[in-house]
Structure 1
Amino acid sequence: MRTTVAVVNGPGQDFLFEEVDVDGPRADEVVVRIIASGICHTDLSLREQLPAEMFPRVFGHEGAGVVEEVGAEVTGIEVGDHVVLSIASCRSCDACRSGAVGYCDQAMMLNYMGFRMDGSTSYSRASGPVFGHFLGQSSLARHSVVHHSSVVVVDKDLDLTKVAPFGCGFQTGAGAILNVARPGPGDSVVVYGVGAVGLAAIAAARASDVETVIAVDLQPSRLEVAEKLGAIGVNPGELGEVSVVDKIKEITGGGAAYGVETTAVPAVIKQAAQALRVRGTLVVLGLDMNHAEFAIDAIDILQNGKIVRGSIEGDSDPLEMVPRMLRLHAEGKFPVTDLVTTYPFTEIDAAVADVLAGKVVKPVLVW
């Protein structure tokens, strides 16, 4: 079969639309006709940072669509099902069996390398293979060949253009709250960086009845959205002589119970840890391969019993977390679909430019 993909031919290069050959599904795979796909900062950062030998590549990992073919060994998924796509996992290692599928023993091979476990790719062109299978899906395409573990069947009444980001961005932010931090109403939560991930964390905190939720960002437009979701906005650029750490401690009465860090900026991570209360926890979600190390105040962490921990996809199992978020949304407790701005797939460059400029929160491309 032939299909259209948005291929990137080398580090930092543009998304180019091209027709390629696509395999039918292997026994453990599903072919999905993509209706919509969100653009995540991970797509954009790894487009810049992956080495040249990992291209040409099809990115995209917030896909939603309709199942067209099902592999012989796949159960629970049928042709015609509407689905949201997420990360892939082996479903058999110790981590997967415990529900920690983001930490699957085969996570690197299934999600980042660009090929199947046997080294084959589902996309190809006359000049050779095209790497796909990005986070289990490579959804910046008309058709994706996805590992069965990436597929979450959803109600056919749902608008797939609105729920596509539930497979990554919204899941990561919400999971940091609902699965990792688990704050109570009397706790305080500070979210650093309020793009799609951070705003989903704020929405999840408010859904958990947390009264004191603080959003820290330099973009006034993002803070306005956060405030509509029920957060107190703090713009570090407008604090004058007051530090972010001191401002957070002032608002929270001594420090935040929980912090969620999405920016991957080392200085922000350090400040977020310093702004915690005694025995507070910071959940780090952001990753920048160009700044893979960050400093913390070791004395502060040790003497105050603070925890700084990372999280993949908010420690979510998509098969459980996506339906959970959809239920909260249906109840009016998780109003994140308002963050979506749709674009025709052919306007991918405009969508990327708008999200980088802060004009939109979550761009979603629609065929």
Structure 2
Amino acid sequence: MSKNKNINYSLDSALIQKTSIGLTDLEIARKIIHDHQFNKSKSTLFSQGKRTDCFFTEDSKLYITPREQKLFEKGVALNQSVKDWDSLSARVIKGYIERVPRQKDTSFLYKKLLQRCEKFGEELSVGSRNVIERFSVVKLWNASIIAAILFGMFTMTMIYRHLGQGAFAGSTDGSSIVQKDSDSSPVLLTESQVLGAEDSSDEDEIDNQDNVEYIEKVIQNLEKSEKRELEKEIKKMVEGYPIEKMVPYIVEKDKIVVAFLIGIAKKESNWGKRVPVLNEQDCYNYWGYRGKRRMMGTGGHTCFNSRKDAVDTVAKRLEWLVNNNKLNTPEKMIIWKCGSTCEGHSRYSVQKWISDVNMYFQKLND
């Protein structure tokens, strides 16, 4: 009775059983070594239960792959050349530079690029409009007048310096003959004697002083017109609120102080609708000011004698903080709300105070 022997075949050269090589049979040893090296570099395809050592890959270009079939259906031209000098250029798509992606085929990065370009254009447009809107017609008109005056002064100075001293009446050589009296001979006067050096210098000083006074008057007129425009803007803003009666006193202050007076008053008292009182009388304290005085209102707030007294007192304090402590923004002026520290206040209330004051501060301090 014969027995079936199970023979195991190795699919991988790594599991090939090592056999001892005898030194007596050199030819057998060489064949075993040759087969061993050949098997290590050989490729074998296992597919559908079969094993084959002869097969083709996509780079062989002997058949159309499913991926290439989808590209063909979309109308993409492929490089079918089999004589490429290296394998890296196999099956390269033709004309990919000229191809413009359709909307449904547009890649994610391409869409992002279009979105960013569109957003950049919008931001550039908004930024240019904001720059133009910051300069009112009145400001542009005032700036043009000042520029014209300065240009005229410079032009007249240059003309006088280079041409004024060369034009004299009398002789062509810059001298003049004057008869001193009937018995004496004529006297030849030089240029400086005719004009008078002292007189000409005095005239220069007078002209310069007149120019300075004229410029000062122009600047004063421009400041007055700007204050009138600012007063109109603030009155329109606070129309119907108690602080409206204080506007003539407010606009007399520096522009940054005006912006703080309006912004802080809106936050602290809603422009005078929530105020401390004394004997049921308005204390005119619309800014939450707590300076010690003989008359103190509800909540430990100061009571002022009049609207002008209130504006002058609060404005003086704000001017000192702006000029000495450099508190020139609502964020820096937060000490008006918190005092020396904001530890006892919530972060939300601090940020809300800054944002509310800044809303009107930016409108009036542009």
Flag the structure with more relative contact order, 1 or 2, with Cα contacts below 8 A and sequence separation at least 6. Answer: 1
TM > 0.5 fold call: no
TM-score tier (shorter) = under 0.3
Structure that is richer in strand per residue: 1
TM-score norm. by structure 2 comes to 0.24
Which of the pair has more CA radius of gyration?
A: 2
Structure that is richer in helix per residue: 2
